[in-house]
Every structure is written in structure tokens, then in C-alpha cells.
Amino acid sequence: MKLGIIGKPQSGKTTIFNAAGAQHQAVGDFSQAVHRAIIKVPDARLEALAELVHPKKITYAEIELLDAPGLSGKGKEAAGLEINQELRQMEAFIMVVDAFSPDAKPDADIHNVIDELVFLDQVLVESNIEKRERKTKLTGDKHEQHEIELLRRCLKFVEEGKPLIELNLTEDELRPLKGYMLLSLKPLLIVLNIAEDQLPEAASIEQKYRHLVQAGRRELAVVCGKIEMELVSLGADERGAFLTDLGIATPAMDVVVQRSYSLLGLISFLTAGEPEVRAWTIRKGTNAQKSAGVIHSDIERGFIRAEVTAYNDYVTLKTPAAIKAAGKQRLEGKEYVIEDGDVILFRFNV
Ligand SMILES: Nc1nc2c(ncn2[C@@H]2O[C@H](COP(=O)(O)OP(=O)(O)OP(=O)(O)O)[C@@H](O)[C@H]2O)c(=O)[nH]1
Ligand SMILES: [Mg+2]
């Protein structure tokens, strides 16, 4: 999963990047520097399985984080501004919003940044419609016409100031749009970056902004980036104790990961063998055969069946023999829809 961090200058993007990715980049220097990190998705289930299986290694799912400037946050005034090209390739955006400084205007900032994404899409769609119309005049290509109509529908929508993700396009309509890497088509995790002394009100602040959430399109998290960034250099135990003292139930790293997973409709299935205990990321609703392809295309191609045990059954019963004796290992075919936490052994033949 690739997540891009966006937001107004000095909103705490790099601070959140450090907190969520256990990184140590300089903050507050107005540098607008670009940072990248690969973070491991925390998953206690893997450690529990490893206790039972004693694998050579544990492999966590990974998330790519990109902290890159590019948005001035001035909305439509910022017409000349281009967004970092790499950000366009991300699957979702984490929008960091300043809610910590004395003159913070989180509501206005959220609207500004969304406006700006929509506006940049408008410019892109407009110029592509023109380009394509010129081309069809020359070639008379009917196929192009289809795409032009789709782009016109998008244009009408963004002209009304609405993010494209709200247009509810079908898979078939989304496919030809992929190449444009439209910004307002990406799911958005809004991170309200609050001050240290606001921590006791974190829950009520979250409640106040809850209306922004749209299932599968927009998520919300309230985080104090500054404190969490300072805690990433501590050991897990010490950190846990500090977080409890501060009344933080879930650390920023986990919040960002969990909310991004739910935003993108992602789940994990697990494999537990002696060489490796591992988490694999798939979209919710993916069937067993397709999921096998995430491990290797040969396993998808030669798929015979999946031997599936729910994670809870696995850790309760502990051994393959006990699992089988209790009738908790299911044999599933190609069309079985994988559930989060399924521990799977794929049988295949190529
Ligand atoms: N009090 C407080 N200050 C914060 C918090 N988060 C960030 N800051 C401060 O805000 C300033 C900007 O933080 P950065 O993380 O560098 O912001 P940025 O968005 O990456 O800035 P640019 O990359 O320059 O646009 C720094 O001085 C931070 O210490 C917070 O949660 N609380
Ligand atoms: Mg920065």
C-alpha cells in the first residue's frame, strides 16, 4: 500500500511522517523536503503464530509512506502550482491538518486542500479533453469518443467543486481514468494534528469532525504528532507506558495503518510455515484463487484448494493435529472469499 502525506506548509506533515513511520527527519525547518519510508504493519497475530510454528523469520505487511510538499493550500488561487509527481502515484492520501497552533483553522484548511485537489483535477481533465478532441477530429476514432464523454462527466463534477471519488464511478469507468492519476479520486485520511494540551479532548474533537467521514472514501484520525514523534525513539515497553499515561489508547502508527486499511478496504490473510510466518494484504472480497496470486502467480494458476483455519482457532488449538481433530481446518475452493486473519495453506499444481 502506498500512502502520500499532503497538507499545508507547516501543518506537521513531517512530524506525522516521523510518528507514523518511526523516522527521525528534521521538522519545523520550512524545508519542504521529500521523505520516504517503508513501514511494517504492526500485527500481533504474526508474533502469536510464530510462538507456535517457530519460523525462521516473520514478515510483516509493508506500507510505503511518502512525505512530499506540493500544496500551498490557497485553493483556486494556486493555479500555477503543480503537485509532486510522485504523490500522484499513491493509492491514498493522508492529509495532515494543523489543529495545534493558536491560530489554527482546521475547517478552512481541510476545505482549501480538498478544493485544491479538485481544482488541479479540473485543469488536468480540461486539457485532456481538448487534446483528445483535437485527435478525434483528425482520426475520427469512435473509441476516443467514449473516453471524452467520461472525461466530460468528470469535468462537470469537478467544476461544481466536488471530489471525483464522490462520482461513484464503476470499475469499468475507473479503468481508463487510471493513467491520469487524478488527485480527488483518491481516498483521504484526514489527520487532525492537535496540541499536547488538547489530548484530553481528543475524543470530543474526533466526534466534532466525525461528519467528514464517508465510508470507503474518507477517514479521520486525531493525533498529537509532536508527542508521538518524540516517543518513537523509546523502546516498545517504555513507549506503551508513556502513551497510557497520556491517555492515548492507540498510537499514531497503528491509527494510520488501521484507518488506511479500512479506507482502502484492505484485509490481511496469514501464512504460517517453518520458513516464514507472514501477513499478505488483499482487498476485502477477494476470492481464494486470486489471493493465492499475491503470493505467486504459479499458485494462482495451479490452484487446487485452500486449507483455511481462522486465526482464533489456530491460536486456541495450537497444533495442526488439534486443529484437524476439532474440525477447524476447512477445505475451500477457488471461489471462497478470504476473511481477515484466515491462516491459509494453498495447495497447487503447475
Ligand atoms: N505543538 C505542536 N507543534 C507541532 C505539532 N506537530 C507539528 N508541530 C510543529 O509544527 C512545525 C512544523 O512541523 P513539520 O512537521 O515540519 O511540518 P511540515 O508540514 O512537514 O512542514 P513543511 O514540510 O515545511 O511544509 C514544527 O515546529 C513542529 O514542531 C503538534 O502536534 N503540536
Ligand atoms: Mg515537512
Interval 179-203: pLDDT, tens: 999 999 999 999 999 999 999 999 9
- Ligand 1 centroid to 26 CA: how many Å? 10
Superfamily, domain 1-43+62-265: P-loop containing nucleotide triphosphate hydrolases (3.40.50.300)
Helices and strands: H and E segment counts in the chain: 14, 12
Which residues make up the CATH 3.10.20.30 domain(s) of the chain?
A: 285-348
Evaluate: CB of 225 within 6 angstroms of ligand 1: yes
> Among 11, 14, 15, which residue has the most ligand 1 atoms within 8 Å of its CB, making it the best to mutate?
15
| 13 Cα: distance to centroid of ligand 2 (angstroms) | 5
Query: Is any atom of ligand 1 closer than 6 Å to the C-beta of 226?
Result: yes
**Ion ligand 2 neighbours, Cβ < 5 Å:** 13-14
- Identify which of 224, 225, 336 has the alpha carbon closest to the alpha carbon of residue 291: 336
Length of the chain: 350
Task: Give, using CA atoms, the residue closest to atom 23 of ligand 1.
Answer: 32
**Looking at ligand 1, which atom is closest to the CA of residue 33?**
23
pLDDT tens, residue by residue, 112-132:
999 999 999 999 999 999 999
Partners of residue 92 on adjacent β-strands = 3
Asked if residue 15 has its Cβ within 6 Å of ligand 1, the reply is: yes
12 lines ligand 1 (CB under 6 A): yes
pLDDT digit of tens for each residue in the chain (350 aa)? 899 999 988 899 999 999 998 899 988 877 777 899 998 888 999 999 999 999 999 999 999 999 987 665 454 444 445 677 889 999 999 999 999 999 999 999 999 999 999 999 999 999 999 999 988 888 877 778 889 999 999 999 999 999 999 999 999 999 999 999 999 999 999 999 999 999 999 999 999 999 999 988 999 999 999 999 998 888 878 888 988 888 888 888 888 888 999 899 999 999 999 999 999 999 999 999 999 999 999 999 999 999 999 999 999 999 989 999 999 999 999 999 999 999 999 999 98
Task: Quote the ligand 2 centre to 214 CA distance (angstroms).
Answer: 27
- Regarding the beta carbon of 231 and ligand 1, being less than 6 Å apart is answered no
The CATH code that applies to domain 285-348 is 3.10.20.30
Question: How far, in Å, from the CA of 150 to the mean position of ligand 1?
Answer: 40
* Residue 8 in contact with ligand 1 by CB distance below 6 A: no
CA 83/CA 6 separation, integer angstroms: 10
Kindly state the helix (H) or strand (E) to which residue 241 belongs, with its residue range.
helix 236-246
Q: What's the predicted TM-score (pTM) here?
A: 0.88
| Residue ranges of the chain that CATH labels 3.40.50.300 | 1-43+62-265
Contacts (Cβ under 8 Å, ≥6 apart) of 56: 274, 275, 276
- What end-to-end distance do the CA atoms of the chain give, in Å? 29
